[in-house]
């Protein structure tokens, strides 16, 4: 019996059950905080027709860009997709369906999905193309758009530290969409930089409690930097 | 003379107040960080999950896990905090950010803004801009007053798809500082050496010009 031990020993086990036409959430902001090994495993397993929910689409040869190149994604829900030429090409040819979603609305849709809230009103996007076809309501003199929640068949999350029970700690701005996505997957898989035993993480410092997490795998990360900016003598 | 990028940032910095939490958009707004007056304490919010953004790191301190919303490597100041994207936009949507500075393609007399999409050209996405304009009460838009052919970007009604409807009250262009109220642009200040006539000529939306229009001070 595994009990509450969620540690798996291979990427095949980590994504067992992933198949065509599923919806997959992938954590990260740009290339920061992405579950690199789990993305590579999706490419290896080769399911197609995927709906991918992620703030960005990676770059041509890294992150979700790899899944675009292999043409496994048919619908992409994201807030900003500017850094990826493969993406542009597939979007313009109509091969890829893109649902652009304001970043805060995207974060809240995922948070709501994980928290059992089916939809919420937000002022974001009112009077813009984002609100087209959606219910709107005036509340105390202000206009709001009804935004439905998002959940996924798989949520792929990158954590800094995980214990074997799936309690998670994120690091710096690598947290971004990972904490909400961890709550919104039918199966939540965490790729962690460090795996520790239960009790080693201070319960006061846990960002995501293990109840949301189904599988944990030890990852190794390239941590590629998208915009390498450093201080020069001049500034 | 029309304002340079640096002067635009410098003029915006005069609107900062001690103790402000500020979100700076990508491009010219980012430069505002270089002009925070000495002795003033201002916390910069970066919507990817950082409150208390510092300067760029050195080669020794660079950290792939610490970036800003423009995906540049940065540092965190003493007193900084990290949080999720949901928490970040709770700050923004909930009106907790004191000042937001962002760019635009067009604004109009009703305070609507277009900044994310040019039909027929490539669409990159709105990122956090729609949340920022919907959530903040105090926004300064920095933009060019007209395009290179002299066509005004301060319009009766925005022609491009909107980022936000009726949410902008202050605009700083390379020619002028303006307030939007009662369905018109109100000229507050002009760039040094720029005539009121030039601003009138390059403003397509209704413009209210007071008797005296001071030059910006730097």
Split into its structural domains, chain A has a count of 1
Over residues A178-211, the pLDDT tens digits come to 999 999 999 999 999 999 999 999 999 999 999 9
Residues B92, A104 contacting (CB under 8 angstroms):
yes
Judge whether B218 lies within some domain: no
Mean pLDDT per 10-residue section of chain A, whose length is 235 residues? 90 98 98 98 98 95 94 96 83 90 98 98 97 97 97 98 98 98 98 98 98 97 94 66
Q: Which residues of B are catalytic?
A: 47
Give yes or no for a contact between B164 and B139, defined as CB atoms under 8 angstroms apart: no
The verdict on residue A233 lying in a domain is no
Mean pLDDT (whole number) for B51-70: 95
A189 touches A14 (CB < 8 A):
yes
Burial bucket for residue B124 (CB in 10 Å: 0-12, 13-18, 19+): middle
Q: What is the CATH number of the domain that holds A71?
A: 3.40.1080.10
The arithmetic mean of pLDDT across residues B73-88, rounded, is: 97
A167 is a domain residue: yes
Which domain, by its residues, includes B146? Answer: 5-208
| Record: contact B48-A173, CB cut-off 8 A | yes
- Would residue A234 count as lying in a domain? no
Distance between CA A176 and CA A170 in Å, rounded? 9
**Cα–Cα distance, A26 to A23 (Å, whole number):** 10
Residue indicated by tokens 């915009």:
A227
> Is residue B104 domain-resident?
yes
Q: Does A143 map to a domain?
A: no
Residue among A4, A63, A13 at smallest CA distance from A33: A63
Residue A138 domain-assigned (yes or no) = no
Q: Could you tell me the two tokens for B210?
A: 């007071």
Collect all residues with Cβ–Cβ distance below 8 Å to B53 and sequence separation of at least 6: B33, B44, B45, B46, B68, B74, B75, B76, B77, B80
Domain assignment of residue A186, yes or no: yes
Residue B36, in any domain of the structure: yes
Does residue B185 have a pLDDT over 80? yes
Number of domains chain B is built from:
1
In chain A, which residues have their Cβ closer than 8 Å to the Cβ of B50?
172-173
Distance from CA of B178 to the nearest CA of A (A): 23
B32 domain-assigned? yes
What is the extent of the structural domain holding A33?
11-117+150-218
State whether residue B27 is helix, strand or coil: coil
CB contact B52 to A (< 8 Å): no
In a domain, A194, yes or no: yes
Is the whole model's pTM more than 0.90, yes or no?
Answer: yes
**Minimal CA separation from A36 to chain B, in Å:** 14
Question: pLDDT for B137-152, tens place per residue?
Answer: 899 999 999 999 999 9
Quote the pLDDT of residue A111.
Answer: 98
Residue B60 inside a domain? The answer is yes
Torsion B32-B34-B35-B40 (CA) sign: positive
Is residue B114 one of the residues assigned to a domain?
A: yes
Chain B residues close to A126, C-beta within 8 Å: 134, 164-165
Nearest-angstrom CA–CA distance, B151 and B161? 18
Q: What is the CATH number of the domain that holds B78?
A: 3.40.1080.10
Using the Cβ of B85 and the Cβ atoms of chain A, whether some distance falls under 8 Å is answered with: yes
Q: Does the residue A61 lie in any domain?
A: yes
Residue B73 covered by a domain: yes
Closest by CA to A60, choosing from A31, A41, A78, A83, is A83
| Dist. CA A50–CA A71, nearest whole Å | 9
Q: Are residues B132 and B92 in contact, defined by beta-carbon separation less than 8 angstroms?
A: yes
Phi then psi for residue A172, to 5 deg, are 50, -140
Q: How far is A214 from chain B (nearest CA, A)?
A: 20
Q: Distance between CA A108 and CA A106 in Å, rounded?
A: 5
What pLDDT, on a 0 to 100 scale, did the predictor assign at position A141? Answer: 94
């Amino acid at each position: 019996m595994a009990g509450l031990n969620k540690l798996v020993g291979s990427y095949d086990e980590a994504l067992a059950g992933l198949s065509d036409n599923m919806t997959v959430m992938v954590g990260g902001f740009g290339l920061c905080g992405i579950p690199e090994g789990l993305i590579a495993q999706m490419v290896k397993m080769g399911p197609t027709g995927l709906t991918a929910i992620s703030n960005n689409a990676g770059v041509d040869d890294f992150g979700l860009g790899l899944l675009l190149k292999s043409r496994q994604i048919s619908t992409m829900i994201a807030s900003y997709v500017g850094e990826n030429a493969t993406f542009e090409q597939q979007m313009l040819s109509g091969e890829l369906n893109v649902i652009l979603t304001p970043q805060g609305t995207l974060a809240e849709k995922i948070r709501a999905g994980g928290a059992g809230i089916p939809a919420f009103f937000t002022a974001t996007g009112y009077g813009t193309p984002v609100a087209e076809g959606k219910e709107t309501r005036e509340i105390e003199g202000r206009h709001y758009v009804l935004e439905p929640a998002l959940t996924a068949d798989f949520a792929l999350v990158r954590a800094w530290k995980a214990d074997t029970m799936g309690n998670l700690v994120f690091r710096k701005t690598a947290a971004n969409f990972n904490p909400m996505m961890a709550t919104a997957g039918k199966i939540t898989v965490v790729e962690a930089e460090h795996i520790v035993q239960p009790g080693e993480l201070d319960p006061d410092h846990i960002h995501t409690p293990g109840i949301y997490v189904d599988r944990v795998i030890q990852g190794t990360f390239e941590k590629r930097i998208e915009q390498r900016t450093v201080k020069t003598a001049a500034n | 003379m029309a304002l340079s990028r640096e002067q635009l940032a410098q003029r915006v910095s005069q609107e900062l107040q001690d103790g402000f939490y500020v979100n700076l958009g990508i491009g010219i707004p980012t430069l505002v960080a270089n002009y925070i007056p000495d002795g003033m304490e201002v916390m910069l919010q970066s919507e990817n999950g950082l409150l208390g953004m510092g300067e760029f790191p050195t080669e020794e301190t660079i950290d792939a896990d610490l970036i800003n919303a423009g995906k540049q490597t940065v540092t965190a100041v003493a007193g900084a905090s990290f949080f999720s994207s949901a928490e970040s936009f709770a700050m923004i949507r909930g009106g907790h950010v004191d000042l937001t500075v962002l760019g635009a393609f067009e604004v109009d007399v009703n305070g609507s803004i277009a900044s994310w999409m040019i039909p027929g050209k490539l669409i990159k996405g709105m990122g956090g801009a729609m949340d920022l304009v919907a959530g903040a009460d105090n926004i300064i838009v920095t933009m060019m007053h007209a395009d290179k052919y002299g066509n005004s970007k301060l319009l009766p009604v925005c022609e491009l798809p909107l980022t936000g409807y009726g949410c902008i009250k202050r605009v700083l262009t390379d020619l002028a500082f303006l307030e939007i109220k009662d369905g018109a642009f109100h000229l507050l200040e002009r760039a040094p050496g720029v005539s009121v006539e030039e601003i009138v000529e390059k403003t397509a939306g209704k413009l209210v010009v007071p008797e005296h229009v001071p030059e910006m001070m730097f």
